[in-house]
Amino acid sequence: MLAGTLVLFFITLGDRRGVLARRVALVTALATVTACVMALPAEEVLFEGAYRVDGFSQILKLFLSVGLFFALLAAGGLQDIPSDFRPEFYLFTILGGFGLVTLVSCVDLLTMVVALQMASFPLYLLVPLRREREGQRAQMESAAKYIMFGIAANGIMLFGLSYLYGLTGTTALAGVMHQIRGVAESPLALAGLALTCCGLFYKLAVFPFHFWTPDVYEGSSHESAAIISSLPKLGAVAVLARLTALATPENPRFALLLAVLATASMFYGNLAALVQTDLKRLLGFSGIAHAGHTVVGLVALDSDGRAAALYYLFAYLFMILASFLVVCRVSTDGRNVGLSELAGLHRRSPLLAWTLLLAVFGLAGVPPLAGFIGKLALLKAALAKGWLWLVVLTVINSAIAIYYYLLMVREAFFKDATPEAPRIGLDAATQLLCVLLMVAILALGVFPGRLLAFLSVVG
């Protein structure tokens, strides 16, 4: 990935080299997938204990690299990004991906912070790359919100890390975990852990760190929104899984905090999504609700809960990429897509319609798709620790979400397109990507056992 980033940097020095940059980025992402597969069984501790290669990190790197490759395939021609800036889009995407695959191996608080910034700042720069149109400058406001909220969340996180360091005298995660056991119930330890998680809640779009989400989705290009909505969430949950391991399952106050945040995220995201007409804003509020679902697994504060949260994010990665692929192809000129513009999609492009159907049914938790198994694993982990009221509220929110997902299905399959709506032609790469995403959503739902068992062991 570093080699690909270096090549892309030199490509950006020239003019109108978007096609070449796309090819280099795709080759880099595919080579990264291959390297992750080859290195899947590797185990090693590097840099004096600051960087760990193990089963946990390697499975996350594999899914991150596959998600990166799919996101680049979905990007297509970048209709809404000026040709002069397209090489920069690929440079920032690969650089952000490098930060994420580094982040999941960091087991020292300092290297974790550095990797998190390396993953964040390139993605901040993707948002203002969108083309300016008459009466449309939302990308500048979105970029400002994204950066300012990110800086504020990082400051809060660093403040929390200073508490953890002050209590334990070390930045090594293993050392912090060992030293904090004796003071885990102290207000200072709880405050330090909660503040540290804030920066990651921002990445995951958990309430109340969610305010940037719908505006950034709406203001950025479809391709940028697809990347921002998927890959950073997986990296955030990976670090949250390591940090929540600092709290014991018998720690009721921290678990209660997570449960309250999860409930608020689910209700806010789902209720706000009910009234949305812009498809990207709808997916943004839906993402807030799904962040709440993910935190439900972390409430258990054990390996099963962390495994369920990671599995759910693996499933969400493919479902949200499939949803944004449909948005990218329905919007032929890069403009935002309204819910009504899905009308007649089953006739305009049957393959896109079926891709959307599996994606939204998966997000809604319809069996036997990946979203159903993910939610079932989350509820099982929370219920095993006695969180009955949280399980009931999660089920209620899943029922609420079905309504606006069915609105998308109704538009795509049961409404007729307007006479001026053209048929949507798909190139070979898009057709292949649709099939791969549908297979992934089905496979994770039908064959979840081995992956969940593996995540429970390594998590």
pLDDT recorded at residue 91: 93
pLDDT-based confidence at 449, cuts 50/70/90? Answer: confident
Q: What is the pLDDT of residue 141?
A: 78
- Torsion angles phi and psi, residue 49, rounded to 5: 85, 5
Q: What local confidence, expressed as pLDDT, does residue 10 receive?
A: 92
The helix (H) or strand (E) run that includes residue 46 is strand 44-46
| Whole-number Å distance between alpha carbons of 126 and 448 | 34
Per-residue pLDDT at 248: 65
At 62, the pLDDT band (50, 70, 90 cuts) reads very high
360-418 per-position pLDDT tens digit = 999 998 888 888 999 999 999 999 888 899 999 999 999 999 999 999 999 888 888 77
Q: Tell me phi and psi for residue 108, to 5 degrees.
A: -130, 140
The pLDDT of 30-53, averaged and rounded, is 90
The pLDDT of residue 80 is 80
pLDDT at 27: 95
**Other CB atoms within 10 A of residue 188 CB:** 12
Q: Give the span between the Cα atoms of 272 and 333, in whole angstroms.
A: 27
Tens of pLDDT, residue by residue over 427-438, are 888 899 999 999
Q: Is a pLDDT exceeding 80 seen at residue 44?
A: yes
Read off the pLDDT of each residue in 52-77 and give the average, rounded to a whole number: 90
Lowest mean pLDDT among 79-83, 129-133, 270-274, 350-354: 129-133
Range 56-64 average pLDDT: 91
Residue 134 has pLDDT above 70, yes or no: no
The reported pLDDT for the residue numbered 189 is: 81
Strand partners, 53: 44
Report the C-alpha gap between 24 and 4 in whole angstroms. Answer: 7
- Separation of alpha carbons 448 and 349, rounded Å: 30
Tell me the pLDDT tens digit for each residue of 301-332.
888 888 899 999 999 999 999 999 998 888 87
Between 70-74, 251-255, 353-357, the lowest mean confidence (pLDDT) is in 251-255
For 11-38, write each residue's pLDDT tens digit: 988 877 888 999 999 999 999 999 999 9
How far, CA to CA in Å, does 212 sit from each of 215, 262, 391?
A: 6, 18, 27
What's the mean per-residue pLDDT of the chain?
87
Identify the domain containing residue 41 by its residue range: 2-458
pLDDT at 182: 67
Counted domains in the chain: 1
Is 405:342 a contact under the CB 8 Å cutoff? no
Written as six digits, the tokens of 439 are: 């297979």
Q: How far apart are CA 150 and CA 77, in angstroms?
A: 29
Q: What integer is the mean pLDDT of 111-127?
A: 89
Of 321, 344, 330, 341, residue with least CA distance to 425: 330
Q: The pTM is what?
A: 0.91
